[in-house]
Copies of this chain bind each other. A is one copy, B any other.
Amino acid sequence: MPKNRVESFADGIFAFAATLLILNIAVDQRQALGPQLLHSWPSFAAYAISFITIGIIGANHHQVMHQLEHVDRFFLMVTVLFLMFIAFIPFPTRLLALDIKGPDAEAAALAYGITLFGTALFFNALWWYAAAGRRLLRADADQRAVDGISRSYVLGPISYGVATLVALRSPVASAGLYAAIALFYLLDSTVFGRRT
């Protein structure tokens, strides 16, 4: 099975899930706009964190697909489950934006963390399935690059898992960790990560 249509389906989901995030931002027409906009910074922050997170996962997914020779049905189905989590992200993003300053902060931070943890888990699943025994890899895929990807991806579920657990003690700290993870990946691939 050729891999180009998996890519175009995945690109559609990445782009669309990222664009739908904007629907989470709304204002109340009956109140003055200026103060509302200043007051809405958690919505803007949540928008930015989730957009950057989806963008980075998309870029990494490009990297994965680039290493593959072909895909099989099993890989395709794990991809569907992985994209199901990606497309889910706008919902907990909305919860985080609206509730991080209120009494529902813990539930919102948990919902966000569990979603991102699941996303990272399925992303690892599709990579490990493809890379194990070089099952779906291109003949010319450099084994050191493959091992480097494997090592760096495994950090995803761990860091989101930790940040999710932190939500049980401090939802705000947990939200800070979600932002920090996105920022780390952004800087890692830019300032530090130019080596690629």
* Chain A residues at the B interface, C-beta cutoff of 8 Å: 1-2, 5-9, 11-23, 25, 27, 29, 32-34, 37, 47-48, 51-52, 55-56, 58-59, 62-63, 65-66, 72-74, 76-78, 80-81, 83-84, 87-88, 90-91, 95, 98-99, 103-104, 106-108, 111, 186, 189-190, 193-194, 196
Q: Which residue of chain B has its CB nearest to the CB of A55?
A: B80
Tell which of A11, A17, A189 has the most Cβ of chain B within 10 Å. Answer: A11
Partner among B1, B8, B25, B33 whose Cβ is within 8 Å of the Cβ of A11? B8
Known: A33-B95, A55-B80. A15 touches B20 (CB 8 A): no
Complex Cα gap A77–B146 (Å): 22
B19 touches A87 (CB 8 A): yes
A84 touches B51 (CB 8 A): yes
B193 touches A1 (CB 8 A): no
Q: How far is the CB of A135 from chain B (nearest CB, A)?
A: 11
B29 touches A19 (CB 8 A): no
